[in-house]
Amino acid sequence: MGPFLAALVVLALTRGKVGILGLLKRMVHWRVRPVWYAVALALPVGIALGATVLNVLLGAQHPSSAELGACPGLIPSFFLLLLIPGIGGARKEPGWRGYALPNLQAGRSALLASLILGIVWAFWHLPLMVAGVISWSDIAYVVVQSVVYAWLFNSTSGSALLAMLLHTMNNAISGGFFHAMFSGADWVRQGWLLVALWCAVALIAVIVNGPEHLSRKHNKQTPTPPESATPISRVA
């Protein structure tokens, strides 16, 4: 809850009620094209599954049938992580993407802003790395993911809700399911395979959408209410 609570405090001090309402509107900004819901929910599944298959092909121990059979439990896990504050990471997104990213994008390209935020976000996880809960590859993992989150955020006119869905699904399917099936060197390799696949997606997003806005139809989001976002004028 730290980034979200920090954003609320700073907005209360700097922009008052208007700023807080703007952030809350981003959290319930659900009117986006259905394809972006598909991206938020399916992309983490595809990447986690792809990394797992590659890991097994490279010599990792095949997950047991009992481990794979626990798949139906991912549905309640997803909603648990999404709806209960303080667990799962979803409540960090209003702080990271809802507040920090728009401010960083003011005067910077969306790509540079996302990389700056990604570095801060990565070191936020440092205690978990030191404790061995997550791999040290998560430094790179989080930085490249930050570019993908910025692409989703800007392409949905600043929906923190879609970022929350992406974050929750990734934690449920990757960290809490597939990655947890491995140990030792296989666990470490899984982490780097995830970095490689997320990096590929980030690279495609930058090439297709351009580094300035990371969106083909919308301007990069800056500190304004979501409804004020305007499409980019394109000349045929």
Give the model confidence (pLDDT) of 187-231 as tens digits: 999 999 999 999 999 999 999 999 999 999 999 999 864 434 444
83-93 residue pLDDT tens = 776 676 778 89
Residue 217: inside a domain, yes or no? yes
| Domain assignment present for 235 | no
Does some domain include residue 54?
yes
- Which pLDDT value is given to residue 113? 98
The answer to whether position 61 is within a domain reads: yes
Model confidence, pTM = 0.89
Domain count, the chain: 1
Q: Is residue 236 part of a domain?
A: no
At 180, which amino acid appears? A
Residue 104 in any domain: the answer is yes
| Residue 202 within any structural domain of the chain | yes
DSSP states of 197-226 as a string? Answer: HHHHHHHHHHHHH-TTTS-SSBPPP-SS-G
**What domain range includes position 137?**
2-228
Sequence length of the chain is 236
The answer as to whether 97 is a domain residue is: yes
